[in-house]
Amino acid sequence: MDQTLAPIAAPIPVRASSTDDPAELLRFAIDAHCLGAAALATLVEIHGGAARSLGAHMAVVADGRFCGYVSGGCVEAAVASEALLAMAQGRDRMVKFGDGSPFFDIVLPCGGGISIAIHVLKDVGALQHVLDRLGQRQAAGLVYSPERQTLISVDPPLRTCWTEGDFLTVYRPRTRIVISGQTIEAQAVARLAEGSGYDVIVRGWGEGDRVAADIIDPFTAVVLLHHDLDAEAAILETALHSPAFYIGALGSTRTHRRRVERLTALGFRRDDLGRIKAPIGMFGPTRDATSLALSVLADVAAARLVAYA
């Protein structure tokens, strides 16, 4: 009888979740590393069009499970296979897909090309540091060195990029939305924002002055959905003194003129008043709460992209 042992088949990649939230991906990688081998794949180069931005991650476990996206879903299984190979060999690797790639059978729908750095995790201290900072609503950074095959935490760079042969990734807290109002519009915005994965805080009538300064940080949008200027006054003043990246207020152009007159009398400058998006939203006028909620959240998302491109 032939006693030759057959080679052990490599695990088949299987998606464990559909999340693309960086914090969830890093947590998945940390948990996987604690149970065995794991790898972190990062989108580090884009040629032409791409479905994801630089720094997008996938986390891959030695048993084949993975989560995250580095494209629109067309190469993720192939990336997971490459990560499994890297773990089996015990060393990092760089792979290309699309334009200029040796994988001629994998074509990106956008017609471009992407490069993925696959790092076999040796420890997860740097990842945990990023999660700790995000938990404190602070930006964080990681530096990946292909030459040294290391991953270390650093003060966050201004943007995700290559520098001196290392790849720097910046992480920022998820968007927080402070919603002021006890209106049907406020309820609709809160529901949609929660469904979008935002950190949602709702304040009703008379609660505006109770919004602590540290609640409105640079990653916060303040949405005022009152039908009375008196009701919004306290939280609007708090917002104007804050680093919020977006401040929007319900009301017509005529109502906003009255709002500006009030704030000017209180000593606010033109630059301060220019921060207020009023009438609120990306498109309008709207005539129902759901349309308004879509308009507001689209405006918030666009403002976040501009603030932290």
* CA of residue 5 relative to chain centroid, distance: 47
Which of the 8 DSSP states describes residue 16? -
Please give the model's pTM, rounded to 2 decimal places: 0.89
pLDDT at 101 over 70: no
Quick check: 205 pLDDT over 60? no
Q: Determine whether 223 is exposed, middle or buried from the number of CB atoms within 10 Å of its CB (0-12, 13-18, 19+).
A: buried
Per-residue model confidence (pLDDT) at position 104: 47
In this predicted structure, what is the pLDDT of residue 73? 81
Eight-class DSSP state of 199: E
Q: In this predicted structure, what is the pLDDT of residue 105?
A: 46
Q: What is the pLDDT of residues 123-143, one digit of tens each?
A: 999 999 999 999 999 999 999
Strand order in the sheet with 176-180: 199-203, 176-180, 220-224, 246-249, 276-277
- Tell me which of 88-92, 206-210, 227-231 is least confident: 206-210
pLDDT tens profile 270-305: 999 999 999 999 987 888 999 999 999 999 999 999
Say if residue 201's pLDDT is above 80: yes
Distance from C-alpha of 304 to C-alpha of 21, rounded to nearest angstrom: 16
pLDDT of 43: 97
Q: What are the pLDDT digits (tens) for 8-31?
A: 567 899 999 999 999 999 999 999
